[in-house]
A and B are shown apart, each in its own frame.
Chain A
Amino acid sequence: MASELGLKAKDFKTDQEVRWCPGCGDYAILAAVQGFMPELGIPREDIVFISGIGCSSRFPYYMNTYGMHSIHGRAPAIATGLSTSRPDLKVFVVTGDGDALSIGGNHLIHALRRNVNLTILLFNNRIYGLTKGQYSPTSEQGKITKSTPMGSLDFPFNPVSLALGAEATFVGRTLDSDRKHLTTVLRAATEHRGTSLVEIYQNCNIFNDGAFDLIKDSDTKGEWIIPLEHGSEVRFGADNSKAVVRDPGNGALSVAEDVAPGDPRVVIHDAHSADPSYAFAISRLSQVDSRLSAMGVFRDVSRPSYDDLMNDQLDAARVKAEASNGTDDAALQSLIYGADSWTIQ
Chain B
Amino acid sequence: MSTEVQQLDRVVIRIAGDSGDGMQLTGDRFTQETANFGNDLSTQPNFPAEIRAPAGTLAGVSSFQLHFADHDILTPGDRPDVLVAMNPAALKANLQDLPKGATIIVDTRDFTERALARIGWSANPITDGTLENFTVHALDLTQLTLDALADTELSRKDAGRSKNMYALGLLSWMYSRPTEGTLKFLREKFAKNPDIAEANITAFKAGWNYGETTEAFGVSYQVKPAVLPPGEYRNIAGNLALSYGLIAGARRAKLPLFLGAYPITPASDILHELSKHKRFGVATFQAEDEIAGIGAALGAAFGGALGVTTSSGPGIALKAETIGLAVSLELPLVVVDVQRGGPSTGLPTKTEQSDLLQAMFGRNGEAPVPIVAPQSPSDCFDAAIEAVRIATVYKTPVILLSDGYIANGSEPWKLPVVSELPDLTVEFLTEPNGTGAEDGVFLPYLRDPETLARPWAVPGTAGLEHRIGGIEKADRTGNISYDPDNHDFMVRTRAAKVAGITVPDLVVDDADDDAKVLVLGWGSTYGPIGAAVRRVRRTGTSIAQAHLRHLNPFPANLGEVLAHYERVVIPEMNLGQLALLIRGRYLTDVVSVTQVRGMPFRAAELADMLQGVISNGE
Report which A residues bind B (CB closer than 8 A): 14, 16, 43-48, 50, 60-61, 63-71, 74, 77-86, 88-89, 106-107, 110, 310, 313-314, 317-318, 320-321, 325-327, 329, 331-333, 335-338, 340-345
Contacts and interface: CB of A to CB of B under 8 A. Distances in A.
Given A68-B467, A332-B418, A77 B295 contact: yes
Contact of A84 (B300, B417, B468): B300
A110 B288 contact: yes
Contacts of B233: 341-344
Given A86-B459, A342-B234, A343-B232, A310 B468 contact: no
Contacts of A67: 466-469
Given A77-B296, A85-B256, A310-B283, A69 B234 contact: no
19 contacts: A45-B461, A77-B288, A78-B302, A81-B295, A81-B299, A84-B285, A85-B304, A88-B460, A107-B291, A318-B279, A325-B279, A329-B418, A331-B280, A335-B277, A336-B248, A336-B415, A337-B415, A340-B234, A343-B232
Q: Most A CB atoms within 10 A — which of B278, B281, B307, B463?
A: B278
A74 B36 contact: no
Given A61-B467, A342-B232, 13 more contacts: A16-B480, A46-B460, A48-B302, A61-B480, A69-B470, A77-B296, A81-B285, A88-B460, A106-B289, A332-B251, A337-B415, A340-B35, A344-B231
A61 to B, nearest CB: 5
A67 B467 CA distance: 4
Interface string B287-323: 1110110011111111111010000000000000110
A291 to B, nearest CB: 35
Main secondary structure of the interface of B (DSSP, over half): mixed
B322 A71 contact: yes
Interface of B: 32, 35-36, 38, 181, 228-236, 244, 247-248, 251, 256, 258, 260, 277-281, 283, 285, 287-289, 291-292, 295-305, 307, 321-322, 324-325, 329, 415-419, 459-471, 479-480
Given A68-B329, A77-B292, A342-B232, A327 B280 contact: yes
Contact of B258 (A61, A81, A332): A81
B273 to A, nearest CB: 10
The 3 A-B residue pairs with the shortest CB-CB distance in the complex, in nearest-first order: A69-B469, A81-B296, A81-B299
Contacts of A344: 38, 228-231, 233
A50 B468 CA distance: 10
A185 B38 CA distance: 69
Contacts of B285: 80-81, 84, 310
B304 A86 contact: yes
Contact of A340 (B181, B244, B280, B463): B181
A80 B304 CA distance: 14
Nearest to B293: A77
Given A107-B295, A318-B278, A344-B231, A65 B325 contact: no
A6 to B, nearest CB: 13
Contact of A78 (B235, B298, B416, B466): B298
Contacts of B36: 340, 342
B384 to A, nearest CB: 12
B418 A333 contact: yes
A79 B228 contact: no
A345 B230 contact: yes
B248 A332 contact: yes
Contacts of B469: 60-61, 67-70
A2 B307 CA distance: 37
A293 B201 CA distance: 71
Contact of B234 (A82, A83, A106, A341): A341
A81 B283 CA distance: 10
A329 to B, nearest CB: 5
A310 to B, nearest CB: 6
Contacts of B231: 343-344
B462 A80 contact: no
A343 B471 CA distance: 55
Contacts of B298: 78, 81
Contacts of A79: 299
Nearest to A80: B296
A83 B465 CA distance: 17
Given A71-B325, A332-B248, A344-B233, A65 B465 contact: yes
A81 B459 contact: no
Contacts of A77: 260, 287-288, 291-292, 295-296, 299
A78 B301 CA distance: 10
Nearest to A334: B418
Contacts of A89: 303, 459-460
Given A314-B278, A342-B232, A329 B181 contact: no
B459 A66 contact: yes
B268 to A, nearest CB: 19
Contacts of B260: 77, 81
Contacts of B307: 81
Nearest to A306: B285
Contact of A333 (B277, B417, B460, B467): B417
A98 to B, nearest CB: 16
Contacts of B256: 85
B325 A106 contact: no
B173 to A, nearest CB: 21
Given A107-B292, A333-B418, A336-B244, A66 B281 contact: no
A87 to B, nearest CB: 10
B251 A82 contact: no
A321 B279 CA distance: 6
A66 B278 contact: no
B31 to A, nearest CB: 10
Contacts of A86: 300, 303-304, 459-460
Contacts of B228: 344
B325 A85 contact: no
Contacts of B321: 71
A60 B329 CA distance: 15
Contacts of B277: 335
A85 B300 contact: yes
A205 to B, nearest CB: 23
Contact of A336 (B229, B291, B418): B418
Contact of B279 (A82, A84, A320): A320
